[in-house]
Amino acid sequence: MKIAIVCYPTFGGSGVVATELGLELARRGHEIHFITYSQPVRLALLNPNVHYHEVNVPEYPLFHYQPYELALSSKLVDMVKLHHIDLLHVHYAIPHAYAGYMAKQMLKDEGINIPMVTTLHGTDITLVGNHPFYKPAVTFSINKSDVVTSVSQSLKEATLRLFDIKNEIVVIPNFIEIDETINRNQVCKRSVMANSDERIITHISNFRKIKNIPDVVNVFYRIQEKIPAKLMMVGDGPEKVIAEELCEKLGIQDKVIFFGNSNEIHQILGYSDLFLLPSETESFGLAALEAMACGVPVVSSNTGGLPEVNSHGYSGYLSNVGDVDDMAENALKILRNEVVLNEFKHNALETAKKFLIDKIVPLYENVYEEALEKT
């Protein structure tokens, strides 16, 4: 199949899922065309089945806002015609499903019928898309998609609750590749980051408000009062400076390392003992799954799709949003004892195996077949 994938090219989240999906589909023999405004972070292009087409939006001083949707839909039309693409798969409803629908209509006018699959990722529904300024357009583009998928049951329910959706929504969870060669407990790198008696706790995100970044610091503060520990903060975003200030205020700045955005996520997770994800909401929590796939237990909030990923008392623990005392207590239950820690590490890896890429990607292939049959 020739598939156009539209996504955000950013670190983490929907962009990573879309990129990893495209790469796996290419390995399975499909021809993949990524269409976005810059090269996706995890996209390596040395593959004859993988193509990247950049959407350019020329700056024009008349426009207060440059019309990205217009440029994207035009690019989609051109690429579908040039490469004889069979199907559009758009990740994140805003504005991709909207631009995809416009492209579909323009192509229809030229006698080309192309199906569109829309994957909902979370904030496109729960945070941004739900805003009254966007809601009619988001509802419309979801209803006009040939197949709609969501990354968790919880997100499906939220979508049906918040929007007037006529379409069936198929749940296809996010997926992970487990690198068996990864050196868990990388002693040498670990020794650069922490003393041998210190536990390493890690948080990875885009440092937006929804991630409850101060809770990460506050949970860590409570942990390090009881046991020797270091905190690795990976990623960048508006709340990073708040976290830095809070660490300073609490006097723990020497125990916290801020990495910024990193391409070495797996190495960092490879020497981590615990992953913290206290988000306000999380449709899935891909970062938690990536941690588990590296054998790192997760202490997270009990919200959105997180209970579908993190198994309470097995791969980690779930606490009410904002309950930093409970999160710290749970973290200490895991970290205090070497035998317990190793058990949770093993369980985290076992739980991650439910989401192996080989099991999940065929579900997308089924959905593509279904979409093609519809048109």
Chain position carrying tokens 């631009």: 99
* Angstrom distance (rounded) from CA 106 to CA 115: 13
To ligand GMT, the closest distance from the beta carbon of 131 in angstroms equals: 15
Q: In this complex, which beta carbon is closest to ligand GMT, that of residue 14 or of residue 73? A: 14
* Angstrom distance (rounded) from CA 201 to CA 152: 26
To ligand GMT, the closest distance from the beta carbon of 265 in angstroms equals: 14
Q: In the stretch 69-108, what mask flags binding to ligand GMT with x, by CB under 6 A?
A: -----------------------x----------------
Asked if 235 and 260 count as a contact pair (C-beta separation under 8 A), the reply is: yes
Q: In this complex, which beta carbon is closest to ligand GMT, that of residue 284 or of residue 368? A: 284
Q: In this complex, which beta carbon is closest to ligand GMT, that of residue 80 or of residue 169? A: 169
* Angstrom distance (rounded) from CA 284 to CA 335: 25
Query: Per rule CB under 6 A, is residue 240 in the interface with ligand GMT?
Result: no
Helix (H, G, I), strand (E, B), or coil: what is residue 319?
strand
Task: Candidates 17, 43, 148, 265: give the one binding ligand GMT (CB under 6 A).
Answer: 17
To ligand GMT, the closest distance from the beta carbon of 122 in angstroms equals: 3
Q: What is the dihedral of CA 341, 355, 92, 276, to 10 degrees?
A: 0
Q: In the stretch 254-283, what mask flags binding to ligand GMT with x, by CB under 6 A?
A: ---------------------------xxx
The residues near 290 (Cβ < 8 Å, ≥ 6 apart) are 176, 204, 265, 266, 269
Question: What backbone torsions phi and psi does residue 233 show, to the nearest 5 degrees?
Answer: -105, 110
Q: In the stretch 121-160, what mask flags binding to ligand GMT with x, by CB under 6 A?
A: xxx---------------------------x---------
- Tell me which H or E stretch contains 143: helix 135-143
Q: In this complex, which beta carbon is closest to ligand GMT, that of residue 80 or of residue 318? A: 318
Q: Which among 292, 300, 308 has a CA at the least distance from the CA of 156?
A: 308
Q: In this complex, which beta carbon is closest to ligand GMT, that of residue 283 or of residue 319? A: 283
Asked if 200 and 225 count as a contact pair (C-beta separation under 8 A), the reply is: no
Gyration radius (Cα) of the chain, Å = 21
Q: Residues in contact with ligand GMT, total (CB under 6 A)?
A: 20
How many degrees, rounded to 5, is the angle at CA 253 between CA 317 and CA 319? 15
Query: Per rule CB under 6 A, is residue 208 in the interface with ligand GMT?
Result: yes
**Other beta carbons within 10 Å of 357:** 17
Task: Candidates 26, 71, 165, 210: give the one binding ligand GMT (CB under 6 A).
Answer: 210
Q: Residue of minimal CB distance from ligand GMT?
A: 13
Q: In this complex, which beta carbon is closest to ligand GMT, that of residue 12 or of residue 22? A: 12
Residues that bind ligand GMT (CB under 6 A): 12-15, 17, 92, 121-123, 151, 174, 206, 208, 210, 281-286
